[in-house]
Structure 1
């Protein structure tokens, strides 16, 4: 299993699959890189090189040793981690995609790496910063994870991660989602939640995303409703919007074939502007 050791002691796990134009996919919270398994298999078969990292503090990636009782992973730290990984792999330009928190990290990374990004995928995500209430809730969840770990939270989150129909019809997917959440290191997830609570508002930055962009959302997504995707679509000139009926917060897993069909078609036709 490949990994990259960073100067601060962090080790980033990742998969690098296939050959061709590189596509980098960033997972959401509280998941890991296996969230993208269907897309890795499909895109590699379609002739793309697909890199999926475990973000700092998730999956096989760990936080550096610290005496801080409440560590924080700012969004720009995630962006710096990705830059280091891309440089290590010799990837100059690439397509960058993400889902939920991963999509917000795509917007953060675009602020630092715009000249290297050929196209963008934003799935089930929002450009807005947290409201004061959302920030309080996110910080409270981080403290809960520190106290209780991941024992009970995944079961509470599941009905918002997947639509009711997906939970009924896709038992293997449901088990995979629960397994990812339960395996997430609570200290890493808490650190990212604290950093996420202080992230920038990206709405004004959206006008600076001038490369081809695909926006995907499910009609049953209560975390990032269709209105959030429409805001992205409106502010990113020339972007494409795909709305998947009956799908919750994980369209790449709930409707993987349709999601992949849209993504492959997009990648085949995108060109740097």
Structure 2
């Protein structure tokens, strides 16, 4: 299955990988800035999000991204990932370094992180609500947890819509197929990497950024004192400037 996606602009290819609270619509504020900077921008919905259905067989998100690039005739791209999308980007870059030109990771997750007390409590509460069938309350829990104080009401409503849709897709009756796990060694990543964390996010994600800055050679960590977990949606213009500056250095458009 080819992931649902859209393509805009011309130039070197960027792949935008969404947070697992969202889908590819989270990147709407970045699209004009990145295409204007001279990039071909590919946005996709991971399986079970947006317009991509749940898998009908065992799957791997990084392999799905590689298959999408193959279908588009792209040999090498820069990856921009938020949260769970960053985790996918990290696996792609570690397993397929020859295809990875640069990494920009916003409040990224990693596969082997042991959650801290607050993040674990959030996960337990979400599980309890979903097991009780209260999708509306689970959705509101996610909106409250993941959006920082700088976000406006329209942004909160979009996150609410995306998260509710993801729950509805993922909880619909049907056969479940697990993801295929691969070992991921961050130290083998060769692409230039930008690691962004937010002061108003769970502390786990700052800890992850600090850890990755030590594991990925030549990487750079930027901590935003105003940001929550989704800075690209909370203050898009500020994040767009950071992304474009990094990409122009690490993966310049012709």
CA distance in 2, matches of 1:34, 1:244: 23
CA distance in 2, matches of 1:53, 1:264: 20
Change (3 A) 1:199 1:140: farther
* Deviation readout 1:137-168 (Å, 9 max, x if unpaired): 869956864762732211111222112x225x
CA distance in 2, matches of 1:57, 1:147: 21
Tell me the C-alpha RMSD between the 2 structures. 3.2
* Deviation readout 1:46-81 (Å, 9 max, x if unpaired): 110000100011101102458xxxxxx65xx11221
**Tell me, what secondary structure is at the counterpart of 2:16?**
strand
**Tell me, what secondary structure is at the counterpart of 2:135?**
coil
Change (3 A) 1:269 1:253: same
Task: For CA contacts below 8 A with separation 6 or more, give which structure has more relative contact order.
Answer: 2
**Tell me, what secondary structure is at the counterpart of 1:38?**
coil
Alignment of 1:89-238 (within 5 A): 89-127=72-110, 129-131=112-114, 141=126, 145=130, 148=133, 150-163=135-148, 165-167=149-151, 170-188=152-170, 202=184, 205-222=185-202, 224-238=204-218
- Note if contact 1:92-1:116 (Cα within 8 Å) is conserved in structure 2: yes
Please list every run of 5 or more consecutive structure 1 residues that lacks an aligned counterpart in the other structure. 1-5, 67-72
- Note if contact 2:49-2:169 (Cα within 8 Å) is conserved in structure 1: no
Change (3 A) 1:35 1:195: farther
Aligned length: 248
The more displaced of 54-63 and 123-132 is 123-132
TM-score for both structures, normalised by structure 1: 0.79
CA distance in 2, matches of 1:135, 1:160: 12
**Tell me, what secondary structure is at the counterpart of 2:28?**
helix
* Deviation readout 1:191-229 (Å, 9 max, x if unpaired): 9xx958x96675xx2221121111111111116432221
Please list every run of 5 or more consecutive structure 2 residues that lacks an aligned counterpart in the other structure. none
**Tell me, what secondary structure is at the counterpart of 1:104?**
helix
CA distance in 1, matches of 2:93, 2:133: 35
**Tell me, what secondary structure is at the counterpart of 2:13?**
strand
**Tell me, what secondary structure is at the counterpart of 1:217?**
strand
CA distance in 1, matches of 2:220, 2:178: 29
**Tell me, what secondary structure is at the counterpart of 2:190?**
coil
1:95 Cα offset (Å): 0.2
TM-score for both structures, normalised by structure 2: 0.85
